[in-house]
Amino acid sequence: MNILLVYPKYPDTFWGFKTILNLISKKTMYPPLGLLTVASMLPKEWNKKLIDENIRDLKDEDIMWADMVFISAMLVQKESSQEIINKCKGKNKVVVAGGPAFTMQHEKFDNVDHFVLNEAEVTLPLFLKDLKKGCAKKIYTSDIKPDITNTPIPSWNLINFKDYGTMSLQYSRGCPFNCEFCDIIVMNGRVPRTKTPKQFLSEVESLYNAGWRGGLFIVDDNFIGNKVEVKKMLRSLIEWQKVHKYPFTLLTEASTNLADDEELMNLMITANFNKVFLGIETPKIKSLKECGKFQNVKRDLVESVKIIHKHGMQVMGGFIVGFDNDTKDIFKSQIDFIRESSVVNAMVGLLTVIPQTRLWYRLKAEGRLVNDWTGENTDGVINFIPKLGKESLLKGYKKILSTIYSPIEYYKRIEQFIKEYNPTSKARISLNNILTLIKSNWYIGVLSSDRWLYWKLLTKTFFTKIKAFPVAVELAICRLHFEKITNKVLSS
């Protein structure tokens, strides 16, 4: 059996960083971890080939080789997904679809032979069993949240590491919090399920043995959802990193209560984590309570960010405007918060109603849903009737973006962040890093209108905090992408 696994194209989104891929000599940022893991769940005797359309286009000869096509996607990839499905069905191939896009809205897709939904550890074996008997059904779904200690190591042999900016692994699934707008708990539940330290280290080792060195994104819903277990794993990871001379620099997603746990922050730093994404959302207490983000209510959010910066991890922040309790001063409040906290990489999005979330059910009951979700919240699309008014919300949103990603504002935040930051990462300097610096010196330091801000930043960082120099370069490069995303929203 020849199995073709296809990963659809991403549009140019906030996290895609398409604008800067040429500068870092990569074709896309992240590998299709879900498909690579599914590949390892399929019978070993089957032949497998993976096409990531973010790397190269799917060709007719790829489709003709296959007996069956597996596709996995997120909702932001839905247009590309349907194009791939239609193309494969045009060649009379059996199409099997799974992943978040299909789990949340499988009824929106045409021409799929079999939907294998929810978590593959449960539903994929059911499909394979029926397929073997010749009676495979249209839809496989389950509410069971599987034990992930039996999840196999991803099939790294199906990709070329040189194409990707960062590799990905998953340690846990689920989040203990219950934010109204979030679909994580819908898909993965509120009880965090973790892999064992030995199991996770075997995955880390597999990446190392396959030849990867560099960034490693732990893609958990909330990495610190189970603090007791994650601390056990981190102690093992620290020893592994020491023995192997720190081949990986890690980043992940967590909740703001990370700032409360000195031991946990120190363990993460020692394990070579240098970035963490936090869902800060809003400085407005009423809006935090409205959406159920109670973990952010009784704390000084600015101070929480600064604590994490001082410990040596850069905070990437998620922010939202458009809550029912937001008033017209929310736009200035968000700008002021981002300035004060020195969050350089600030993903500010419009409140978006994701299917099947508590927010979706509430606004549906109130008759306030107006169209489908595009799959992202930073494209300027509003899919509900906001109490602030659509025009007012969109105008304020554009004001935030045009302010925080203007050259002077952005570089000022980098300088303030570096002043507070205590870099401890043991990152290796590679040939690609050197080439990236040379390219950025040309594209930003010579060709860009930001060049005087760029050279001022690099010079000051070099002489006052040399350990933060790579971060300064990276953040300067990122502005090229953020500027493009901002301009796209401003012109909409």
Amino acid making up residue 38: V
- Domains, the chain, in order of start with CATH, read 2-140 (3.40.50.280), 148-418 (3.80.30.20)
Nearest to 75 by CA among 54, 96, 53, 106: 106
Rounded CA-CA distance 286/290 in Å is 6
Nearest to 14 by CA among 444, 313, 348: 348
- Annotate 318-348 with b (16+ C-beta within 10 A) or e (fewer): bbbbbbbbbeeebbebbbebbbbbbbbbbbb
Question: Helix, strand or coil for residue 156?
Answer: helix
Rounded CA-CA distance 425/312 in Å is 7
- The model's pTM: 0.96
Rounded CA-CA distance 286/347 in Å is 21
Return the axis-axis angle of helices 407-420 and 451-464, rounded to nearest 10°: 10
* pLDDT value at residue 428: 78
Tokens 């550890």 -> residue: 121
Task: Give the residues across from 172 on adjacent strands.
Answer: 194
The length of the chain is: 492
Residue 492 CB burial class (10 angstroms; 0-12, 13-18, ≥19): exposed
Rounded CA-CA distance 204/237 in Å is 9
Mean pLDDT by 10 residues, the chain (492 residues): 97 89 95 98 98 97 98 94 97 97 94 98 98 98 96 98 97 96 93 97 98 97 97 98 97 98 98 97 97 95 98 97 97 98 97 94 96 81 95 97 97 97 86 94 95 98 96 96 94 86
